[in-house]
Amino acid sequence: MEITSNDIKFIREFSGNLYKDLEDIRKFAEENYIPIAKPEVAAFLNFIVKVKKPKKVLEIGTAIGYSAIIIANAYKNANIVTIERDINLAEIAKENFKKAKVEDRIDLICGEAQEVLQNLTNKYDLIFVDAAKGQYIEFYKEIKRILNREGIIMWDNILYKGYVVNEKNVKHKRRTIVYRMREFLKILNEDKTLHTVILPLGDGVALNFKEV
């Protein structure tokens, strides 16, 4: 027997207690319909950062800074560049970084990720992608260029609310995203330069590891 959505709910409740000090941000996000990483994804991100100890981290999709603060707290030597296109969310994120006393290690770039990525020249040890699902293929091309050797990419929401698997229930407006996400997963699967795993966490998480 395989895991069911009830098991996933259990895992979520179990993971929910890990971040008491970030509860205010989570509550604010919930009340204002701002999507942030699900508790089990946040717990996994925290775990990966603790194991990997990445000095340079890139995040695409800051929202109000919840996941960036988790990364900063998980490893005190991590320096983070995070990209957000919504100026209002970016302002709230900056305030949250100050409150969490991590603002000196987080550089928030407000802009369209695709454009910002093209101008990045540094290499990153961990790249967390949590932004427009329809653009993952474009992000992928740029991200591979700036991923360090032994670097990890973590992609959130790759099963897109279950629609990537369960195409029947997809409304018309979401179809393009689903097709693009399937295409993206096919590209990941066929790319032999990276090791890839897909995990049934939250909305689906994919991980790449660049060995050489």
Ligand X SMILES: C[S@@+](CC[C@H](N)C(=O)[O-])C[C@H]1O[C@@H](n2cnc3c(N)ncnc32)[C@H](O)[C@@H]1O
Q: Does 130 bind ligand X (CB under 6 A)?
A: yes
User: Smallest gap, in angstroms, from Cβ of residue 36 to ligand X?
Assistant: 4
User: What is the closest distance, in whole angstroms, from the C-beta atom of residue 112 to ligand X in the complex?
Assistant: 5
Task: Report, in Å, the least distance between residue 5 CB and ligand X.
Answer: 20
Reading the block at residue 14, the tokens are 């179990």
- Check residue 43 for interaction with ligand X (CB under 6 A): no
Kindly report the CA angle at 192 between 188 and 195, in degrees rounded to 5?
Answer: 70
Nearest CB to ligand X, comparing residues 132 and 211: 132
Closest distance of CB 61 from ligand X, Å: 3
| Region near ligand X per CB under 6 A, out of 14-22, 128-136, 147-155, 194-202 | 128-136
Phi then psi for 103, rounded to 5 degrees?
A: -65, -25
Considering the rule CB under 6 A, would residue 159 count as an interface residue with ligand X?
no
161: region left, alpha or beta (phi > 0 left; psi from -120 to 50 alpha):
left
For residue 83, state whether it binds ligand X (rule: CB under 6 A).
yes
Token representation of residue 104: 């000196």
User: Which helix (H) or strand (E) covers residue 183, if one does?
Assistant: helix 172-190
Question: Both tokens of residue 78?
Answer: 């991590």
The binder of ligand X chosen from 120, 132, 194, 199 (CB under 6 A): 132
- What separation in angstroms does the CA of 178 have from each of 100, 139, 140, 157? 36, 16, 17, 11
When asked if residue 40 is in the footprint of ligand X (CB under 6 A), the reply is no
Q: For residue 61, with 0-12 CB atoms within 10 Å meaning exposed, 13-18 middle and 19 or more buried, which class applies?
A: buried
DSSP state of 103: G
Residues numbered 50 to 79 that lie near ligand X (CB under 6 A) are 61, 63, 66-67
41 contacts 156 by C-beta, under 8 angstroms: yes
Q: In this structure, are residues 95 and 24 in contact, taking their beta carbons and an 8 Å threshold?
A: no
- With CB under 6 A as the contact rule, which of the stretches 82-90, 168-176, 179-187, 188-196 interacts with ligand X? 82-90
Of all residues in the shown chain, the one whose CB is closest to ligand X is 61
Q: Does 26 engage in binding with ligand X (CB under 6 A)?
A: no
Closest contact distance (angstroms) between CB of 23 and ligand X is 14
Which residues are at the interface with ligand X (CB under 6 A)? 35-37, 61, 63, 66-67, 83-86, 89, 112-113, 130-132, 135
